[in-house]
Structures are given as structure tokens and as C-alpha cells.
Amino acid sequence: MKESRYFYVPDAVNQTELPMEEALHALRVLRLQSGDEMFLMDGKGTFYRAEVTIAATKRCMYKIKETLPQEKSWRGYIHLVIAPTKMMDRIEWMAEKATEIGFDEISFLNCKFSERKAMRIVRLDKIIVSAVKQSRKPWKPILTPMVSFKDFINQPRTGHKFITHCYPEIYRKDLFTELQQLNDDEPVTILIGPEGDFSLDEVLQAEEKGYQSVTLGKSRLRTETAGMMAVCMAQLSLHK
Amino acid sequence: MKESRYFYVPDAVNQTELPMEEALHALRVLRLQSGDEMFLMDGKGTFYRAEVTIAATKRCMYKIKETLPQEKSWRGYIHLVIAPTKMMDRIEWMAEKATEIGFDEISFLNCKFSERKAMRIVRLDKIIVSAVKQSRKPWKPILTPMVSFKDFINQPRTGHKFITHCYPEIYRKDLFTELQQLNDDEPVTILIGPEGDFSLDEVLQAEEKGYQSVTLGKSRLRTETAGMMAVCMAQLSLHK
């Protein structure tokens, strides 16, 4: 039973009540009652052991009993930057899987060959929250709305920056080999293009801004698979 | 246009006609005509360059112009053995992603804590064929129907055998570290349990049969994510 008693409460320490959706789950599905134990996750690195103080029809009040700061299980900061697929469900499952595997931020790009030029991130945020709870991740990945490719690469950004693409005429290193050689705590930013890849011009612009051209290996991967594979590679290279 | 002119024809060299479904795609979607070039994949390591000889309403005859034997891009034989999830769509996407990333065989287990005790593999086979074509894999992964856990581990099996599980009381090595140390061409078999994990008894039985207990890392992964992560790890370790 205890297994599912984890609730996402972004500002848990300053609140005394579960957000509505969490409260409904606590009361109607788990049937928690006054005096029951539960765990709160603030998505910013801390879990809290709490006790239900009042369980009303739609409201669930709590009192924090213990603060449980968590430790991050990987070095650096894994930032996936991807052009969303035409079909949103493909990006949704990727976001779910990347959250389970472990990463820090996802941003979306509007590229020259993007098939999807706009997206709503509310649903995606819910999917990420659900995966955070299910996989007990102390940090909720940050979700950044879509910007144009140009705007993104022009943002000042420190750390290791990579752009994956399929142009054989441009020298590309192997991403996994590069990631395995990193031994600092600097952020890692990985750009993944749309179904039709980045344009050659976009790749050259990124290189000018300090992004290294890389390949994900010999396999021909769909956009969402590439995104997930990049997160796997980063996680396998940077985990403590 | 050429991009999508790949067709799966299991016995291509002994046939002269595309299977019905492939023919409909060739004729109605791609509108191929007599004299057009196309590529056939036999799923057993060979591509063929062929020419359409007759394009009728529902039938597409061909003549092979060139035999293109492919090389395998990873060592050994990656065999994923998994208890299917309650929701089939989760296993379906995993099979699609594992095919893109690259593996050799998927088998299904009926375990003590399995939520799904039966499954149809026809639809799953179609998803795999589609991913094989999309990612241009020369070898189609083999799909083996479900057997009981006991029957599976009692089958004679050579090579490196691993069982993933979440029992902290049983010593577990790190799967990725183990895979990276392999330097032979022996098959690799990885067992992934159901949502409720293997039973302790199942783990002990597997160990008796030579399976090594392993962990996929610190993350709490869903069954299908664990399966995909295992394939990623094997691919990153065994690729040529």
C-alpha cells in the first residue's frame, strides 16, 4: 500500500494541503484517512514524510513529520533539446522514459524542417510529473517551451554542447565516447533534430556557437528514439 | 522518394512478387510502375536491388538486379527475455524501439507475478517488421511466443546469462559494467521481470541455472523501460 503514497507538492514545506488532483487520488483511490502516513516530493531534491491531519471530501491537509533531503545520482546537468515529432504521443513517451532514466531539462526547438511548429506543454508536464512520482525522482525535469533554433543556439550556455545530425560530409564524433570522457560537473546539452534532420545551415550555425557535431551510432533512429538514446548515453556516462 | 522504397520479402530470392500488403503499399502509396527501382529486405541479412516488372492493380512482380549482403553491426547475439506488461501498448513501443536500436531476439515469460498470462504476437510482429523497414535493419529480430519462467530457464542455453531484479538481499552486479567487459561473440541473454518483479524463488532458480543477478542502475524503471535500457546497454557494449 505504502508503495503509491507519494505525492507531488511543489512547495510542500510552505503548504499544509495537497493540491486538488493529488488530494482526490489520496482520498478516492488510496482512501487515506486522518493519521495515515504519506510522502511528499517537492521536485527540487527533497522528500517529506508527512501525516494526514484532515481528510475531507475533496481536501487533504497534512503535517510534515520529517524532511528527507535526497542526493543526485548523476553528475552535471543533462539537458535534452529536441524538435518535437509530428505525432505528440511519440514525444510524450520519450519524455516519460527520459524521466524514468533520469535527466534534468527538456527544451523544444522549431527548426527549418520541423513538422510540428507549435505544441502545448501542459499535458506533457503532467506526464513528466506522473513519471517523477512513479520512478521516485527527487528532481522534476524542467520543461522549457519551444523556441526557434536560432534563438536557442544564441542563448549563452556553458558546458559541453553537442548537435546530432546525419550529414556524413561533416565530421562527427561518437557521442557516447565523448560523454564517457567527461570528468567534470559541467552541464551537457544535446540537440536532436526533427524527422527531416537539421538543415545543413543549422548544423553550421550551431558549430559556430561551439556545438560539436556527433553521431548516436550506426543505427537509423527515429527522432524520439534518438532523444531517448541520448539520455541513456548521458545517464550511463554521468551516473555516480 | 527512394527513401521509402524498402519492402520486407522474407524469401525474396525465391519469389518474384511482393507479398500482398507490401504490394498495396508499393502500388497505392508509392505508385511504383513497371521499370521502377526498389529494395527488398529478407530479414536474414541480405538486401536486394530489384526492378518492378509488372505493376497490376493489387500485384507487383519484380526481378532482382543485385544482391547486397549486409554486415552485422554488433557482436554476439542480443536476446531480451521479458514478462509482458498488463498494457500491451507498452511492450509494443518497446519492441519498436529495441528493433531500431538493434537486437536479435525477444522472448516472453509467464512469471509468478505476471499481470498478463497470454498474448497475441501477430500484431507485435507487424510492429517489428515496420521498425525493421524504417530503420533498415538487415536482420529481423526473432519473436518467440510466451513460455513459463520454469520452461525458459530449463532450456539449454550457452553464453552470458543475466537476470535483473530488485532484491537487495541478493548480490547483484552492474549489468552495464558486465556487458562492457565481454570480449567474445557469445550470445547474451537478459531476463526482465513483470511489474511486480520476479519472485525470490524464480531468481534463485535462475541463479542455479547459471544466470547472474544484475541491476540496471539506481533508477526505478518500469518493465518496458527496463527492457529497452537493457537493449541499449547491450548495443552500446557490443557494437562493432
- For the stretch B55-103, pLDDT in tens is 998 999 999 999 999 999 999 999 999 999 999 999 999 999 999 999 9
Residues B193 and B135 in one domain: yes
Instruction: Count Cβ–Cβ pairs < 8 Å, chain A vs chain B.
Output: 64
Measured between CA atoms, how close is B40 to chain A, in angstroms?
17
Last residue of a domain, one of A45, A69, A93: A69
Residues B45 and B155 in one domain: no
Last residue of a domain, one of B14, B39, B69: B69
Q: Which of A136, A232, A236 lies at the smallest CB-CB distance from B220? A: A136
Kindly report the average pLDDT of chain B as a whole number: 95
| % pLDDT > 90, chain A | 94
Residues A116 and A165 in one domain: yes
How far is it, in rounded angstroms, from Cα B140 to Cα B27? 24
ipTM above 0.85, yes or no: yes
Residue B14 lies in a domain: yes
| % pLDDT > 70, chain B | 98
Residues A133 and A209 in one domain: yes
Least confident of A18-22, A82-86, B114-118, B123-127: B114-118
Q: Which of A73, A218, A229 lies at the smallest CB-CB distance from B232? A: A229
Q: Which residues of B9-26 are buried (b: 16+ CB within 10 A; e: fewer)?
A: beebeeeeebeeebbebb
* Chain A nearest-CA residue for B90: A93
Q: What DSSP character marks residue A132?
A: H
Provide the domain count of chain B.
Answer: 2
Residues A81 and A163 in one domain: yes
Specify the CATH number for the domain of residue A14: 2.40.240.20
Q: With an 8 Å Cβ cutoff, are B236 and A233 in contact?
A: yes
Residue B181 lies in a domain: yes
Residue B59 lies in a domain: yes
Question: Is residue B199 within 8 angstroms of chain A, CB to CB?
Answer: no
Residue A182 lies in a domain: yes
Residue B12 lies in a domain: yes
Q: Which of A102, A219, A233 lies at the smallest CB-CB distance from B135? A: A219
Supply the pLDDT for residue A1: 40
Residue B1 lies in a domain: no
| Average pLDDT over every residue of B165-184 | 96
* Chain A nearest-CA residue for B71: A218
| Average pLDDT over every residue of B190-211 | 97
Supply the pLDDT for residue B1: 40
Name the pTM for this structure.
0.94
User: Kind of pairing, strands A37-41 and A46-55?
Assistant: antiparallel
Would you list the DSSP string of A155-167?
S---SEEEEE---
Strand order in the sheet with B60-69: B6-8, B37-41, B46-55, B60-69
Domain around B138: 77-238
Supply the pLDDT for residue A3: 56
Last residue of a domain, one of B69, B97, B112: B69
Residue A1 lies in a domain: no
Would you list the DSSP string of chain B?
-GGG-EEE-TTGGG-SB--HHHHHIIIIIS---TT-EEEEE-SBSEEEEEEEEEE-SS-EEEEEEEEEE---SBSSEEEEEEPPPSSHHHHHHHHHHHHHH--SEEEEEE-TT-S------HHHHHHHHHHHHHTT-SBPPEEEEEEEHHHHHHS---SEEEEE---TTS--EEHHHHHHT--S--EEEEEE--TT---HHHHHHHHHTTPEEEE--SS---HHHHHHHHHHHHHHHHB-
Q: Which chain B residues have a beta carbon less than 8 Å from that of A222?
A: 100, 134-135
Q: Which chain A residues have a beta carbon less than 8 Å from that of B232?
A: 229, 232, 236
**What is the band of B120 on the pLDDT scale with cuts at 50, 70, 90?**
confident
Q: With an 8 Å Cβ cutoff, are A219 and B101 in contact?
A: yes
Non-local CB neighbours of A44 within 8 Å, separated by 6+ positions: A10, A138, A139, A140
Cα–Cα–Cα angle for B234, B235, B238, rounded to 5 degrees: 80
* Chain A nearest-CA residue for B230: A232
Specify the CATH number for the domain of residue A147: 3.40.1280.10
Residues A222 and A167 in one domain: yes
Q: Which of B192, B229, B233 to substitute to test the interface with A, most A CBs within 10 Å?
A: B229
Residues B90 and B154 in one domain: yes
Residues B44 and B141 in one domain: no
Q: Are A1 and A7 in contact (CB under 8 A)?
A: no
Residues A138 and A61 in one domain: no
Supply the pLDDT for residue B3: 56
How far is it, in rounded angstroms, from Cα A95 to Cα A76? 19
Supply the pLDDT for residue A120: 85
Residues A115 and A186 in one domain: yes
Residues B20 and B101 in one domain: no
Residues A52 and A82 in one domain: no
Residue A14 CA: distances (Å) to CA of A189, B42, B118, B149: 33, 62, 48, 49
* Chain B nearest-CA residue for A103: B219
How far is it, in rounded angstroms, from Cα B61 to Cα B38? 11
Q: Which residue ranges in chain A fall short of pLDDT 70? A: 1-4
B2 has a pLDDT exceeding 80: no
